Amino acid sequence: MVIEIDRLSKAYGSGTSRVAALDGLSLNVPAGTLYGLLGPNGAGKTTALRILCTLLAPDGGSVRVAGVDALQDPRQVRRLLGYVAQEVAIDKILSGRELLQLQGDLYHLQPALRNSRIAELVDLLGMGDWIDRRCGTYSGGMRRRLDLASGLLHAPRVLVLDEPTVGLDIESRAAIWTVLRQLRDGGTTILLSSHYLEEVDALADRLAILEAGQLIAEGTPSELKDALGGDRVTLRVREFSDAAEASQVQELLRACPGVRQVVVNRAQGYSLNLVVEHQGVVEQLRHQLAEAQLPVFALAQSRPSLDDVYLQATGRTLMDAELAVAGSRDPKAERKQSMR
């Protein structure tokens, strides 16, 4: 394993305001794979990556990269890693090429090697038309590609990416996906965090799903989806007036044989998400709801997705988890933080 994280813990704050960002997290990332970390905002993904990259000290646990203890020898680990943070920080005055040259000098690369690597990355990331323009004129997609080039300049064994495509348009996201696949196929180990289900499903060889700083599921996307053993059904009988009424229907469906789990999806107007064992269960559901004078308003059936895996493990969808985190934030505290 090129990355070994063992029982990692980290908390912020103190006393009654103490919040555990990581709670005994353990992960093993095989060499030469693209490994995804999936979870809502607040799940602990960024904290785990910052500890891995020696930017943050944990409260407990251990981290090793290619056999090197990240807590005992952070300098050596930094030589092995390329890190692209969620927030892009690029000088607006320098051109893209000048910024990469500066980055190469910080890595103590010889000028000939530095310029050769820059030329390779400009070609790989399709930056030739604008690399000599000032960074202040770049779009979000351009800035993200330049940031990725900075992380790759010293040819790291491991590339760590924190939400690499957040906020990007479809074309820019697809271009970065292509580059990441090429890097993985060339032997680079990539650890990528995301809360985009389709991104992790499309890219990851293996993935870990995090919730409240803990590992709740791990494996290949296919393994995790196949383990559910049934189809996903999204069901609406009518518009519920409140959560209590939706919960009554939830209990009725749970009593139906062949239904594995039923979750009220508040993000979609109190629709109901469930996993069924076989096709016959759907007809039984229709019959049971009709007897309860709750005719089906809308029904969709599909093969399991990673959102269903998350639902099975936590009892809520990833969207509901995102909304719960957003609802728990203190707007005044956020405004104060943004002003710092």
pLDDT digits 0-9 by tens, 33-78:
999 998 888 889 999 999 999 999 999 999 999 999 999 999 999 9
C-alpha to C-alpha distance for 263 and 216, rounded to whole angstroms: 18
Check whether 331 has a pLDDT greater than 50: no
**Element holding 38 (H helix, E strand):** strand 34-38
Direct distance between the N- and C-terminal alpha carbons of the chain, in angstroms, rounded to an integer: 40
Task: For residues 299-327, give the mean pLDDT.
Answer: 72
Q: In angstroms, rounded to a whole number, what is the distance separating the alpha carbons of residues 123 and 207?
A: 29
At residue 54, what are phi and psi to the nearest 5 degrees? 65, 25
Predicted pLDDT at 309: 80
Q: Which residues contact 45 (CB under 8 A, 6 or more apart)?
A: 37, 39, 162, 193, 210
Q: Compute the distance between CA of residue 52 and CA of residue 50 in angstroms, rounded to an integer.
A: 5
Q: According to the model, what pLDDT value does residue 240 have?
A: 59
Query: In the chain, what percentage of residues exceed pLDDT 90?
Result: 44
Residue 265, SS3 per DSSP: strand
| 102-111, 160-169, 273-282: least confidently modelled range | 273-282
pTM: 0.76
pLDDT digits (tens, 9 = 90+) for 288-309: 777 777 777 777 777 777 877 8
pLDDT band at 335 (very low <50, low <70, confident <90, very high): very low
Strand-pairing partners, residue 287, are none
Please, what's the largest Cα pairwise distance for the chain?
78
Query: Among 224, 311, 319, 320, which residue's Cα sits nearest to residue 275?
Result: 311
By the 10 Å C-beta count (0-12 exposed, 13-18 middle, 19+ buried), 89 is classed as: exposed
pLDDT surpassing 80 at residue 231: no
Banded pLDDT at 97 (limits 50, 70, 90): very high
pLDDT over 50 at 90, yes or no = yes
Cβ-Cβ contacts under 8 Å for 228 (sequence gap 6 or more): 260, 275, 304, 308, 309, 312
What average pLDDT does the segment 137-163 reach? Answer: 91
pLDDT for 244 beyond 70: no
Please give the mean pLDDT across all residues of the chain.
Answer: 84
Judge whether residue 340 has pLDDT over 70. Answer: no
Q: State the pairing for strand pair 34-38/189-194.
A: parallel
Tokens of 160: 């760590």
Residue 70 C-alpha from the chain's centroid: 22
Find where tokens 């000939």 sit. Answer: 112
pLDDT given for residue 239 in this prediction: 60
User: For the chain, which domains are there?
Assistant: 3-224 (3.40.50.300), 228-328 (3.30.70.100)
In which residue are the tokens 């405004």 written?
335
∠ Cα 339 165 4 (to 5°): 95
Residue 301 contacts residue 232 (beta carbons within 8 Å): yes
- Scanning the chain, the segments in alpha helix (DSSP H) are 45-52, 74-80, 96-106, 111-124, 140-152, 170-185, 197-203, 221-226, 243-254, 280-291, 306-314, 318-328, 331-339
Count of C-beta atoms within a 10 Å radius of residue 60:
12
